[in-house]
Amino acid sequence: MQFQYRRLPTPSLRLPLGGVGLVVLAVLALVTVANAATQIRYGTVGVVVRFGGTTGQVFQPGLNWKLPFIDSVLTYRTQKIIYEASDEPQASRADYTDLSVDTVTKDGQRITVNYTVRFSIDPAQAIWVAQNLGTEAEVVEKIVKTDSRIWARNVPKEFAASDLYTGNIQIVQDRVFEILDPIFRENGLSLDEVGLRSITFTEEYALAIEQKQIALEQVTTELYRAEQEVNRKKATITRAEAEAESIRLRGGALRENPEVIQLEFIQSLRDPNSRISWGIMPQNILPFLDILRLAEQGGLSASGGETP
C-alpha cells in the first residue's frame, strides 16, 4: 500500500500592494513630523541653521517647527553661566572651569589670582553669536576665557604687592569688570559680575610681611611705652610744681599772717589724741598757752593755784 504525501497550503502573510504603501507612507509621515518638531527648553533659544548658514530665525522656548531633514538648530543658554578659574578646578561646580592665573605685581612679586565670571548670552544677539563665534563652548573659549584671563593677569600689574596683600582687591575687581563689560557687549554677551575670590602670594613674601608686621608692632609698643613714661614724668613734674607752689603760697601766707600758726596750734589742742610738743612752739603764742603748759606738767591745781 502506497502512501502519498501532500503539502498543506501555508497561509499568505503578504498584504495587498496598496496596504504596504499606506504603511510606508504612515511611517515616513511620523518620521517627518518627528524631525520637523523641535522642542526648545526654558532658559534657552535656538538658532535655525540651513545648509551651513543661519536662516535668521530664532526659536523661543516651547514647541517649534523646522524643515525636516534640512534645518538644524543651534541651542544657546540664556540663563546665567559661570566661568571659574581656581586652584582646584575639579572641585568647582561652575559651568566652565579652568586653572588660576599666575602674574606679578607692579613691584615684581609673584601672585596667583582666583576669580569668577558670571555672564549670559543675549537672546537678541543669538544669530550674531552663531555666525561669528559658534557654539556656547566656543563663545566661552574665544571671549570669556581669553579676555578674562588676559585682564586678570594685566590689571594686578598696576598695583604694588603691599596694596593687594592688605586685601584691597575691590579696586582690581572693579577695574577688570570695567574693561571686560564693553568687550562682552560687543560680542553679544551680558556681563553680570567679575569676582576676585583670592590673591595668593608666595610663602617667602607672606613670611617677610609677617615678620615686618611683628617688627612694626614691637616699634608701636615701644613708642606707646615711651609716651606713657613721658606722660608719667610730666604728671610727676606737674604734681611737684603744684606742691612747691602750695608750699610757697603757704609760707607767704604765714609770714604775712603769723596768727594763723597760733590758730592752727589751738585747733590741734582740741584733738584728744594730740600730744603737745612744748619743745616746738610758735613764736608770739598767746599768753594763756603758758598756763596750759603748766597744767599739763601738773604745776597747777584744778582751782587754778599752784600745787605744793
Q: pLDDT digit string (tens) for 192-229?
A: 999 999 999 988 876 766 666 666 666 776 677 778 87
Q: Mean pLDDT, the chain, as a whole number?
A: 80
- Residue of 118, 272, 266 lying closest to 196 (CA atoms): 118
Amino acid at 305: G
Contact 127, 54 (CB under 8 A): yes
CA distances from 296 to 3, 43, 186, 264, 278 (A): 180, 115, 115, 19, 10
Mean pLDDT of 179-200: 96
- pLDDT of 216: 63
pLDDT(303) > 80: no
Query: What is the grid cell recorded at 178?
Result: 570695567
pTM, two decimals, is 0.61
Contact 98, 78 (CB under 8 A): no
pLDDT bracket for residue 288 (50, 70, 90):
very low
- pLDDT of 110: 93
- pLDDT of 237: 78
Contact 119, 192 (CB under 8 A): yes
- pLDDT of 260: 60
Greatest mean pLDDT among 28-32, 108-112, 147-151, 277-281 lies in 147-151
Determine the Cα–Cα distance for residues 259 and 76; give it in Å rounded to an integer.
Answer: 110
Mean pLDDT of 265-293: 54
pLDDT bracket for residue 301 (50, 70, 90):
very low
